[in-house]
Copies of this chain bind each other. A is one copy, B any other.
Amino acid sequence: MSGARSVTIEDVAARAGVSLATVSRALRGLPNVAPSTRARVLEVAEELKYRPDPHASRLAAGRTRTVGIAVPLPGEWYFSQVVAGAHAVLSSAGYDLLVYGAESVDDRRRFVADATSVQQRVDGLILVDMPAPAAEVEAWAEQGARLVTVGQRTEHFPSVTIDNPKAASVAVHHLLDLGHQRIGLISGGEDAPLYFTVPNERHAAYEAALRGRKIEARDEWCADGNFSMEGGREAMSALLAATEIPTAVFAISDEMAMGAISSARDHGLLVPDHLSVIGFDDHDLAAAFALTTVRQPVVEMGERAARMLLDSLEDDRPPQHYVAPTSLVVRSTTARRIRD
């Protein structure tokens, strides 16, 4: 920090009566240091509360012991969980975590376009639901960048994803199997059509599932909930204004599902008696809501991504692609359709 003229390696060297090279070696556990010397250095360092300046050492050594993680919105549940997972493994491996957010599609594109500049600051980078244009990815790979993507898969780097089509299909089939025919969809992210493929994949799976049962997917049964509780609420209101009201709704995030339920209740509908609702995520609060949902192991995904990054920092190996398991969690917001 500004004013703090801190202890340098030289101070330690002087006090220990050795050269600063020796201090450097001793402190980093390198070989070729006499045990007695090492002990003495350690002792003095401790006594002086010496901490190597990370910037100086990065400049000299080229490593930062820092990794970056970029997410669209650091405050959203999903992203905060991924960050927390990554943070946990990174910090216990002695790495610091730099968090970048890029709210709008434009911010994200800009971030990615300029990613090289952040890659300069870190040993590796985790990209969560960020665009990854082939050209950039190629360039990064050539530069020898270390990164892993979450929610998106590229050829050159390790990735952590889920099988969105399958997971969404499970959700819709759960509804179908309960006898529902008029099934609404609350989707999101219409403002991010280019790279934010999640909504599209889930939407497509929804349509495919209906088609598989020869059920029509009406436009008036699809609404955009913007991935937020409030948005889910509005989306539900919209669905409730349809000429024929759906008897079940698949919201592609739990927060939207909760908003939908709350709106349905405001409209006097009983869940699940009049309306079944299934979400996606298994949010921490889903259980309190008794929400039926498709679970994805968000924290573990962050942990996994961090671990993969750490691995790729150690040696060059072909990129692994981890597809995290999802599972249906049946609680009490879905029920068999009653004749209407």
Contact = CB atoms under 8 A, between A and B. Distances in A.
Given A55-B58, A59-B53, A80-B80, A255 B229 contact: no
A230 B286 CA distance: 11
A289 interface: yes
Contact of A284 (B3, B87, B229): B229
Interface in A306-340: 313
Interface string A57-99: 0110011101000000111010011011101100100001111
B1 A123 contact: yes
Given A80-B80, A83-B99, A6 B120 contact: yes
A122 to B, nearest CB: 7
Identical chains bound together, number? 2
B75 A122 contact: no
Contacts of A184: none
A96 B96 contact: no
Interface stretch (A140-148, A187-195, A207-215): A140-148
A225 interface: no
A56 interface: yes
Contacts of A53: 59, 120
Contact of A116 (B49, B56, B91, B116): B49
A258 B288 contact: yes
A233 interface: yes
A51 B115 CA distance: 11
B88 A101 contact: yes
Contacts of A289: 258, 262, 288-289
Contact of A255 (B1, B6, B146, B285): B285
A262 B287 contact: yes
Contacts of A119: 1, 4
A101 B87 contact: yes
B96 A91 contact: no
Contact of A146 (B1, B99, B313): B1
Contacts of A116: 4, 6, 49, 51
Interface in A116-145: 116-117, 119-125, 143-145
B55 A84 contact: no
A23 interface: no
A316 B53 CA distance: 25
B255 A284 contact: yes
Contacts of A122: 1
Contacts of A49: 116
Contacts of A259: 288
A127 to B, nearest CB: 13
Contacts of A145: 1-4
A98 B100 contact: no
A160 B99 CA distance: 22
Contact of A51 (B120, B144, B261, B284): B120
Given A1-B122, A74-B84, A75-B81, 5 more contacts: A4-B116, A75-B299, A80-B84, A83-B99, A228-B284
10 contacts: A3-B143, A4-B144, A55-B56, A56-B59, A75-B83, A75-B299, A80-B84, A83-B99, A91-B100, A258-B288
